[in-house]
Structure 1
Amino acid sequence: MNLSINVVLQDLLARKPAEVQKNSSPKVRPKHRGWKVQDGHQVQAGYILVTQRNLRFHPGLNVGLGRNGTLFAIIPGTVSVTCEKVDLNWDHTWIQRCYAHRKGTEFFKKYFNRTILGN
C-alpha cells in the first residue's frame, strides 16, 4: 500500500507544470477613438466631437481640447470640419510632443469648428 502511494506521488512530481505563455495578453476592449460627430450635425454644449491619442484633429472656433486629446463643443451649434494651415502654439505640451519634427514647416490639418445656432 505504501509502495503504491509512493509510485503515484513520483508520477505526479515527474510531470512538468503547465508553461505560462509569456507573450500573451488578456483580451482588451477597443477604445473606439475617432470622429463621434460628422460635418453638418447639430450638437449641444459639452458634446464630444472627437476622441484621439495623438493630435490628428485640432480645435477650431468654439471647440475645446480636453486633457486626453478629446475635442468637445463649447456652445451648441452646427459642426463644420475644415482643412486649414496650422498656426501652432509651440508652448503647448501636446504641440511639442506631436510636432517637434515639423517646426518651421507649413502644413495643413483638419479643424473642428462650431457655428452658433440662429434664434
Structure 2
Amino acid sequence: MFNSVLSVSCNILHNTKNVLVNSVRFASKKQSGSTRNTNPKHKPKHRGWKVQDGHQVSAGTILVTQRNLRFHPGRNVGLGRNGTLFAIIPGKVMVTCEKADVDWSHTWVQRCHGHRKGVEFYKKYFNVIPEKQHQNFKLIDLV
C-alpha cells in the first residue's frame, strides 16, 4: 500500500511539473496607445489676424485677436481689455513695422514688455487710414 501511494504521488508531482512548464502568463490588462484631444469641451480660439493689409474695414471691425501683446494699435485703432485690436473709424488697413513707442502705464504693456524697458525694439502696428482725407493742412515751410 505504501508503494502505491508513493507511485500516485510521483505521478501527481510529475504532472504538475509538466503543467508548470507549459503555462504562460499573460498581461492582466490590454495595452493600447494613448489618445489626444478627446475632450470636446475645448474649442479652438482662432486667434490672430482677422483682416489683412490693404482691406477696407468699417468702424468697430475686429482686426486682431491675441493673448499677449503681439500686435500694437496704431492710428485709428483701439485696444480692447482682452487684447483685441479694432478699427475706430472706417478706412483701409495698413500694417507697419515700427519702433515701439508704448504706453508704459498700461498693464498689458508692463506684463508683455516689462523686460524691454529702456531698450529700443520694433513691433507690428495696425493702422486704419480714413477713406476721406481731411483737407486741414497748414504750410509750415516753403521748399
* Global fold match (TM > 0.5): yes
TM-superposition CA deviations, 1:38-57 (whole Å, max 9, x none): 00000000000000000000
- 2:91 is matched with 77
Q: Comparing both chains, which one has the higher relative contact order based on Cα–Cα distances under 8 Å and sequence gaps of 6 or more?
A: 1
Which of the pair is proportionally richer in strand? 1
From 93, 100, 115, give the equivalent of 2:107: 93
**SS of residue in 2 equivalent to 1:98:** helix
Q: Calculate the TM-score normalised by the size of structure 2.
A: 0.65
**SS of residue in 2 equivalent to 1:95:** helix
Indicate how the Cα distance of structure 1 residues 29 and 84 shifts in structure 2: closer, same or farther if over 3 A, else same: same
- Distance across 2 between alignment mates of 1:73 and 1:52: 15
Q: Calculate the TM-score normalised by the size of structure 1.
A: 0.77
The amino acid across from 1:26 in the alignment is N
Structural RMSD (CA): 1.9
Any unmatched runs of 5+ in structure 2? 1-36, 134-143
TM-superposition CA deviations, 1:35-90 (whole Å, max 9, x none): 00000000000000000000000000000000000000000000000000011111
Identity %: 73
Instruction: Kindly report structure 1 stretches of 4+ aligned residues shifted beyond 6 Å.
Output: none
**SS of residue in 2 equivalent to 1:106:** coil
| Count of aligned pairs between the two proteins | 98
- 2:73 is matched with 59
Flag the structure with larger Rg.
Answer: 2
Any unmatched runs of 5+ in structure 1? 1-23
- Distance across 2 between alignment mates of 1:82 and 1:42: 16
**SS of residue in 1 equivalent to 2:93:** strand
Q: How do residues 24-43 of structure 1 correspond to structure 2 at under 5 angstroms?
A: 26-27=39-40, 28-43=42-57
